[in-house]
Amino acid sequence: MKKILLIAAALLAVTAAQAQQWEPLFNGKNLKGWKQVAGGARYEARDGMIVGIASDTRRNSFLATRRDFGDFILEFDFMTEGINSGVQLRSHKDDERGVVYGYQFEIDPAPRAWTGGIYDEARRMWLYRMTANEPARVAYHDGWNSARIECVGNSIRTWVNGIPCANLLDDADAAGFIALQVHAVGEDMLGSRVCWKNIRILTQDVQKYRTPTPAPEINNVANTLSEAELADGWQLLFDGVTAEGWQSARPAMRGRFPHEGWSIEDGVLWVHAGDGGESANGGDIITTRKFRDFILKVDFKLTEGANSGIKYFVDPFMNKGQGSAIGCEFQLLDDEHHPDAKLGVKGNRTLGSLYDLIPAEHGSWERDNTIDGWSTAVIVVKGKHVEHWLNGHKLLEYERDNQMWNALVAYSKYRDWPGFGNSPDGFILLQDHGFQVFFRNIKLKEL
C-alpha cells in the first residue's frame, strides 16, 4: 500500500511538472500591465472585462501589453457590438507614423465573416484570408466567442470556438506586444463596444501544448517548404539564393545561367529591364529538367507596364531563330499599362490568359490573395487537362491534344509550330520580355 501511494505521489509530481502554466494577462479589476498605444477609443476594466468603446472615427486604437511575447499560446473570450476589431500579436508601434503594425487575429462581425483570419496591420494587409478555409467562416457567432492563438516560431495558428481558422507560416516578426484593437468607426457606430475577458497566456513549453489539428496552411516564408508541403510532395524550383535548377533557354547557352540579364537578391529572382524585346536581353530561362504532370506555383510581382510569362511544355530547340522559346504561356502582363492587353482576340493576351489562345476570366477578385504586390500563378497539368489559376481563382481550363485544340492553335500565332502544346512533357520557362519582373516561391508538385 505504501508502495502504491509512493507511485501515485510520483505520478502526481510528474503531472504537476507537465501542467500548463497559464498566466492571466488581465487581472479582472484594472488595466495593470496594459497601456493604450494608439487611437482615441476608450478602454475600461469593468465587470471582469476589458471594455473598448469606439470613440475615434479616424484612427485604429490599441491597448497593448507592456511586455513583449515571442512564442506563446494565448486564449481569451471576446464579444463585439458589430464593429470590426482584432487582437495584435508580436506587434510594434511605429512612432513615426503613430500606428501599431503587425499580425492581427481578426475579429470580423461583418457578413464576410473572416474572424480568426490573420491581417498584417498597417503593413502587408491580409496574410490569411478566411477564403483559404471556407468551412471555418461559421466559427464566429454573435455574443461571446472564445479564441485560441498559437504562436510558435514561424507558425501562427488560430481557433475560434474550437474550430481551426488560420494556419500561417510567416517570418516577419518573432516577438512583440499583444494589443486589443478597437477599429476606427463611422459616426453611427461611436459608443459601440468590444469586450474581452479571461485573457490568459502560456509561454512555457508551448511546443508541447500545440493543438495537433490546425487549419489549412499558408506558407508565407519565402522560398521554403513547410513540413506539410514536404509531406505533400512539393519541391522548390528556386532556393532563394542560387540559380540552381535554371539555365538559359538559348540552345547555344545550354547549362549556363544568364546572370547578365537575371539577378537573385533577397530571396527574389528577377529579370532585368531591357527595351521590351522578346528574350532580347538576358533571354528566357528554363528549368534544367522537363516536367510532365504537375502543379506549379509561382509568386510574381510586376513593375508598371511589364510583360513576361511562365511557359510550360517548352521545347527550347523548336525555335531556331530570335525570340522566346516555344511553349504554352501563362501570360504575365500589367493589363492596365501594357498595350498587348488590348491586342489579340477577345482578351486572350491579358494577365493569366493562355497567351494568344484562351482568354482568362477576369473578375473583381483579381487582387484577392495578393500580399504586398505579390500574386500567385498556379498552373495545373494532368495529362491533357490544364488549368490556370491566379491568387486562388481559376482563370481558365482546357484540354489539349485534340481536334478542337489543334483547330484553335491553327488560328493563333502558334499555327506553324508542329504539334504545339501536345507534348506530354517539357521544360518550364520564365520569360525575359525586357521588363523588370520579380519571382519567388517557385514550387512544384509532380502528380
What is the closest distance, in whole angstroms, from the C-beta atom of residue 336 to its own copies in the complex?
A: 22
Window 102-121: contact mask with its own copies (x via CB under 8 A) = --------------------
Cβ atoms of 148 and 77 within 8 Å: the answer is no
Min dist CB 304 to its own copies, Å, is 28
**168 sits near its own copies (criterion: CB under 8 A):** no
Q: How far is the CB of 351 from its own copies (least distance, A)?
A: 15
Round to whole Å and give the CA distance between 146 and 140: 9
The least distance separating its own copies from the CB of residue 390, rounded to whole angstroms, comes to: 14
Binding test (CB under 8 A) with its own copies, winner from 244, 397, 401, 446: 397
| Candidate ranges 180-188, 195-203, 354-362, 371-379; the one touching its own copies (CB under 8 A) | 354-362
Using CB under 8 A, which of the segments 264-272, 318-326, 392-400, 432-440 binds its own copies? 392-400
3-class SS at 207?
helix
Q: How many CB atoms lie within 10 A of CB 346?
A: 9
Please say which residue, 87 or 358, places its beta carbon nearer to its own copies.
358
Closest approach, Cβ 384 to its own copies, in A, equals 11
Specify whether the CB–CB gap between 335 and 341 falls below 8 A: yes
Q: How far is CA 33 from CA 25, 69, 118, 183, 195, in A?
A: 7, 13, 25, 21, 17
Per CB under 8 A, 398 contacts its own copies? yes
359 in contact with its own copies (CB under 8 A): yes
Sequence-ordered strand ranges (E) for 108-257: 118-121, 125-128, 145-152, 155-160, 163-169, 176-182, 193-202, 218-219, 234-236, 246-248
CB closer to its own copies out of 333 and 408: 408
Residue 86 belongs to what H/E stretch? strand 85-94
Shortest CB 398 distance to its own copies, Å: 4
Q: Per rule CB under 8 A, is residue 396 in the interface with its own copies?
A: yes
Contact string 407-446 vs its own copies (x = CB under 8 A): xx-xxx--x-------------------------------
Side-chain-facing half-sphere of 97: CA atoms under 13 Å: 11
Residue 330 contacts its own copies per CB under 8 A: no
In angstroms, give the least distance from the CB of 232 to its own copies. 28
> Sign of the C-alpha dihedral, residues 378, 383, 386, 392?
negative
- Cβ closest to its own copies, residue 317 vs residue 411: 411
Name which of 125 and 345 has its Cβ closer to its own copies. 345
Minimum Å gap between C-beta 348 and its own copies is 6
**Could you tell me which residues are beta bridge partners of residue 161?**
none
Query: What residues from 331 to 350 belong to the interface with its own copies (CB under 8 A)?
Result: 345-346, 348
In the complex, the smallest distance separating the C-beta of residue 400 from its own copies, rounded to whole angstroms, is: 9
Stretch that binds its own copies, among 6-14, 25-33, 254-262, 397-405 (CB under 8 A): 397-405
Q: Is 88 helix (H, G, I), strand (E, B) or coil?
A: strand
* Distance linking the first and last C-alpha atoms of the chain: 62
CB of 235 to its own copies, least distance (A): 29
36 sits near its own copies (criterion: CB under 8 A) = no
- Residue 357 interacting with its own copies (CB under 8 A): yes
Which residue number, 257 or 398, has a Cβ lying nearer to its own copies?
398
- From 19-27, 115-123, 391-399, 417-425, give the range in contact with its own copies by CB under 8 A: 391-399
* Dist CA 185 CA 201 (whole Å): 29
β-strand pairing of 262-265 with 268-271: antiparallel
User: CB 359 → its own copies: shortest distance, Å?
Assistant: 6
Beta bridge partners of 62: 38, 181
Q: In this structure, are strands 163-169 and 218-219 parallel, antiparallel, or unpaired?
A: parallel
Distances (CA, A) of 315 to 5, 70, 297, 311, 385: 76, 49, 20, 10, 19
**What's the CA gap between 186 and 177, in Å, rounded?**
27
Report the interface residues with its own copies, using CB under 8 A.
Answer: 345-346, 348, 357-359, 361, 396-399, 402-408, 410-412, 415
